[in-house]
Structure 1
Amino acid sequence: MPVVTDLDSVPLTPVYTIVISAAGEATIEGEPVEPLPGQDGRTSALAEIRVRAAKRGHPIRINAKEPDGSVWPLIVDHDGAVTPMPGPHPVPAPAPVAPRPVPVTPPPAPVVHAPAPAPAPVPAPAPQPVQAPPAPAPDWHAPLPPHHADGFGRIVAAELRGDLVGAALAARELEGVLDREYGPLHPHTVGVLGTRAWLALLMQEDWAAIMRLHLRTAERRHNAQAPADETRRVLRNARAVWWRLAAVDRAEADEIQPELQRVSELVEGVLPE
């Protein structure tokens, strides 16, 4: 599908926010999106944005918030083309404000004071050791750098085509690239790992593999000190997958249960329910 090549030609407003929950539900500006037949919440939300773009006659800017908390700035056109932004959407310049008139008052009459006595000399303070500034906390909502926009765009394009296998392969490839560049605990790497877990849950093909991927994501998020609420949500998904696995292969579920217990104790400090 064609993509927008002149990003500056897209109006700066409106910028819609799509939020995808861990349960797969979607909202646009806080309003729930009714899923289309045979489509997940994300695809249905993008379809609604395409309708709005068609009504306006130009592409629309959106911020897509994933279940792991990461935010992807995108441009969506009426024909379904999705263009990843190289960074956050630019903020419109504020409207100019007319200056208020400043009242003019005459200067006060000068006051003559007698010279004050010279102050007693004050000893210079002892030099204090210079401490290095603390390392900045990782930004879990920062968008991918521009040189990785194409990799993320392949994930989005494959999912919009309904090619979940292709989207999962593109996510796995991007995770490997990010791992080599930033390391396994960087927010970018962990965020794409969470996307892989989400795509695997949508495919529902191998419950054991899906569960292990969710457990890996939860443990990696915990070790990277990611936002705890979303980490616990990933763990809850892993528990739900365990029950699905137990229904079809109890032996396999029993084999994985110790790993579920270990990650549960690591993340929450309690035994799994």
Structure 2
Amino acid sequence: MTRTDVPATPVYTITVTSTGTMAIDGEDILTEPGATPEETRREALSEVRIKAAYLGRPVRALVKDLHSTVPLIVDLDGTTTVLDTPHPTPRKDPFLLVLDDNDTQLCPILQLPAEAAVTPSTTHHQALTEIAAHRAAGDPGAASAAADRMETELAAEQGPTHPDTLGALTVRAWLALSDPSTARTTETLELLLEAAERRLAAGAEPHSDTLRALRNAHSLWHHIRDDDPETALELADRLLELLQDHPRRRGDIIDWATSRTA
């Protein structure tokens, strides 16, 4: 069976180990001791169903074991559909993509403007068009300045927690992370942390953008801790607070911080 009504991304990867344990995108699925492989599989699919609920639509998934890779569609009610063809290749983002070390794939925070997750009011569509034009012209500084103005105007008109304002903040974070001159700076990490904090506090949708901000913040923190371990240690608590539901990432930070303070 094929499904063309489900967007190509995100695709959640459920990995089955030789011992029967499972992980979603590298994060272990916690089950009761003695759980059977089928119970563990149901728990993994339940986690994917929750992710579908965040997006308000069915999502794609892959179940991978030592011998096969099975493409699935997981619906909002938990129904799974096994596909007879692989998932489609996502359309390439028109802008530079950002490395997300969660799965060593290139992962855009946001697509502009045709499939933008951010949908500001009509008066600010021109601002998005201006940002896209500056990016296409190779002027990331002008694009960032335009995004900053858009966020400031939206915050004044609709408030700092409005979805449009948070969307504009997400654009700013994406632009900073996709600009080689600012991609690995502490300022960009703090911008990602702010975006994730504010999005989580407001329950902003789509949740996938919040997850990308979190993952990219962790990825960038990795780079910064090599060059500036003192700053990385100072920011570790903020990152740990944001990663409450990501035990593998929390463990990575705690292990490193413990080794630094030992």
TM-score (norm 1): 0.49
Higher relative contact order (CA 8 A, sep 6+): 2
Equivalents in 2 of 1:221, 1:233: separation in Å? 11
Residue type at the aligned position of 2:216: N
Distance 1:159 1:181, change over 3 A: same
How far the C-alpha of 1:220 sits from its partner, in A, is 0.9
Residue type at the aligned position of 1:214: L
Distance 1:44 1:164, change over 3 A: closer
Which residue pairs with 1:42 in the alignment? Answer: 94
Matched, 1:258 2:237: yes
Deviations 1:122-162 (A, max 9, x none): xxxxxxxxxxxxxxxxxx95733222122222111100101
Which residue pairs with 1:232 in the alignment? Answer: 211
Equivalents in 1 of 2:95, 2:203: separation in Å? 30
Equivalents in 1 of 2:118, 2:168: separation in Å? 13
How far the C-alpha of 1:174 sits from its partner, in A, is 0.3
Equivalents in 1 of 2:163, 2:243: separation in Å? 21
Equivalents in 2 of 1:237, 1:251: separation in Å? 20
Matched, 1:151 2:127: yes
The counterpart of 2:221, out of the listed 217, 220, 242, is 242
Matched, 1:197 2:173: yes
Q: How well do the aligned residues superpose, as a CA RMSD in angstroms? A: 3.4
Work out whether residues 207 and 244 of structure 1, in 8 Å CA contact, stay in contact via their aligned partners in 2.
no
Residue type at the aligned position of 1:144: P
Distance 1:19 1:163, change over 3 A: farther
| 1:98-247 equivalence runs, <5 A | 143-204=119-180, 205=182, 206-227=184-205, 228-247=207-226
Percent identity over paired residues = 28
Work out whether residues 71 and 143 of structure 1, in 8 Å CA contact, stay in contact via their aligned partners in 2.
no
Structure 1: 5+ residue stretches without partners: 1-16, 22-29, 35-40, 46-65, 75-139
How far the C-alpha of 1:231 sits from its partner, in A, is 1.6
Which residue pairs with 1:67 in the alignment? Answer: 109
Equivalents in 1 of 2:137, 2:9: separation in Å? 20
Equivalents in 2 of 1:202, 1:42: separation in Å? 12
Equivalents in 1 of 2:8, 2:133: separation in Å? 17
Equivalents in 1 of 2:96, 2:237: separation in Å? 38
Which residue pairs with 2:33 in the alignment? Answer: none
Equivalents in 1 of 2:225, 2:235: separation in Å? 10
Equivalents in 1 of 2:96, 2:160: separation in Å? 32
Equivalents in 2 of 1:201, 1:71: separation in Å? 15
Equivalents in 1 of 2:200, 2:139: separation in Å? 30
Equivalents in 1 of 2:146, 2:112: separation in Å? 18
Equivalents in 2 of 1:20, 1:163: separation in Å? 29
How far the C-alpha of 1:72 sits from its partner, in A, is 4.3
TM-score (norm 2): 0.51
Which residue pairs with 1:99 in the alignment? Answer: none
Work out whether residues 155 and 165 of structure 2, in 8 Å CA contact, stay in contact via their aligned partners in 1.
yes
How far the C-alpha of 1:244 sits from its partner, in A, is 0.6
